[in-house]
Structure 1
Amino acid sequence: MYAKFKAARFDAEPYAQFVTAVGEPGLEIGCGDGEPLLTLRRKGLDVEGLDSSGDMLERCRINAAATGIDVTLHHQRMEQMSLPKRYRSIYLAGPTFNLLPDDETALQALRAIREHLTSDGAALIPLWIPEPTLSDEFGVTREAIEADGTVLRYTAVSEVYDETARNRVTTTRYERITPNATDSIEREWNLHWYGTERFEAMCSEAGLSVTAMVDDEGRAVSPQATEFTVTVQPG
């Protein structure tokens, strides 16, 4: 479930620029409840969305209908993606790829991306190497209020950080508070990460060629980079 509790809103412009430069149709993997996907649709770009969470896709449909936007959505996991068309541009908004639990699943996802790209297409994959959560952050509740007054609360409870396995598993508690009810769920977030060289090797194994690895300013990154965006093409 890529975006069950989507805590971040991403600037749509870099993704709009990517789709415009590479070409349409486009596909957003991990679209969640619709951002930045719906912004790109408002710009008139031919972009579809994919997510593993049916609940989030339903929210995306509601958000799209509220603003009169037509959008095509697919309920599938990225590593099991099997869609009836190919795309010139595929992107993940933020480091959604880090939610895949291990290298094997990640390789399956890269192969699926490769199979859904046109021969002249490209994919944009942001990645992140997370630090351990600071000890004084456990038990601290963060709160956000949505436009309808719904209160969303997030609390980190505990964590296992394994540099050898390249995994950070954080137990978290989420609360959704409305005037009528309070929903609470506790779950584990597994972030799995890759260094630049390992990820490039995995892309090659999946039949993809890395054409760029850059930071937020568009500058080429070093092998020690902890946050970078990868552009790949069928290779």
Structure 2
Amino acid sequence: MDPADFYSGIVVDTYARLKSSTFDPEPYVRFVQQHGEPALEIGCGDGEPMLDLRAAGLDVDGVDSSADMVARCREKAAERGLPTGVFHQRVESLDLERCYASIYFAGPTFNLLPDDEIASRALRAIRAHLTEDGAALVPLWVPDPTPTRELGVTRSTHDGPDVELRYTPVSELFDLQRRTRVTTARYERITPAGVEVSDREWLIHWHTPSGFRALCLAAGLRVVSLVDDETGAPASEASTAFTGTVTAG
């Protein structure tokens, strides 16, 4: 899935995801099968792809910072008859009862952590919840500025036959020094009963490969691999989408 589609699909309150593509569960299935169970999905949202992994017979818990999404995930799990643990916590302050052989972010959720300090705390929390032989998968993304021609342009999709979801990027601040992109966006949910509107600011904070390695080292994690998602080769400083696999140091 393209990272831009992932971010246009971020959930607003109890709205369904506005997105143009879905998660492929297979890479996460393979990761968990390789590194073992139990597994933890960070930023599980409303259960995609976590519930598919559960349906495949894998022992996977989920955690998300949105209480609305945790509730929605539990509802979807119940509808599918899937037992699972889903927790309402922030990744930088994880406090779960068990450790995990596999921990992964589904999509570049790590980029939503607003600065290096919180990212460092998140990595330390992951380290504390890994088994000694466990591994974590961290997809990362270096964004471009949103093209000016796209600001003010609405994208839409449907959540069922009578619900239209609209996403409009309104304005943006792009800061190379801070490595942040802050997009002000309008979300609309249109139903026969009326229109719900929510204006939000979404901050993306990115990391270079060398910067991510340094954060991991400080958190007691060892970077086993850092792979460019487009080429499959080791990530370079020019890579804009890459995935890190880390283990306890």
TM-score (norm 2): 0.91
Confirm or deny: 8 A CA contact 1:52 1:76 kept in the other structure: yes
Once residues 92 and 104 of structure 2 are traced to their aligned partners in structure 1, the CA distance between those partners, rounded to angstroms, is 14
Partner of 1:108: helix, strand, or coil? helix
Post-superposition offset of 1:209: 0.3
Tell me the distance in 1 between the aligned counterparts of 2:199 and 2:180.
19
**Alpha-carbon distance between aligned partners in 2 of 1:150 and 1:9, rounded to the nearest angstrom:** 18
Show the 5 A alignment for 1:165-176. Answer: 165-176=178-189
**Residue 158 of structure 2 aligns with which residue?**
145
2-structure distance, mates of 1:155, 1:24? 40
Read off the aligned partner of 1:224 and give its amino acid letter. Answer: A
State how far apart, in whole Å, the 2-side matches of 1:201 and 1:119 are. Answer: 20
1:56 matched to 2:43? The reply is: no
Counterpart for residue 186 of structure 1: 199
Residue of structure 1 in register with 2:100 after alignment: 87
Question: How far is 1:148 from its partner?
Answer: 5.0
Q: Contact conserved, 1:3 with 1:56, CA < 8 A, in 2?
A: no
Q: Which runs of 5+ in 2 are unaligned?
A: 1-8
Aligned to 1:103: 116
Which residue, out of 146, 149, 154, partners 1:136?
Answer: 149
Contact kept in structure 1, 2:104 and 2:136, CA below 8 Å: yes
1:214 aligned residue: 227
Number of aligned residue pairs: give it: 234
Cα RMSD over matched residues? 1.4
Displacement after TM superposition at 1:230 (Å): 0.3
Q: Runs in 1 of length 4+ with deviation above 6 angstroms? A: none
Over 3 Å counting, the alpha-carbon distance change for 1:149 and 1:19 in structure 2 is farther
Q: Percent identity?
A: 55
Q: Which amino acid aligns with 1:223?
A: E
- The change in CA–CA distance for 1:53 and 1:15 in structure 2 (over 3 A counts) is same
2:225–2:246 Cα contact (<8 Å) kept: yes
Matching of residue 227 in structure 1 with residue 234 in structure 2? no
Equivalent-residue separation in structure 1 for 2:33 and 2:232 (angstroms): 17
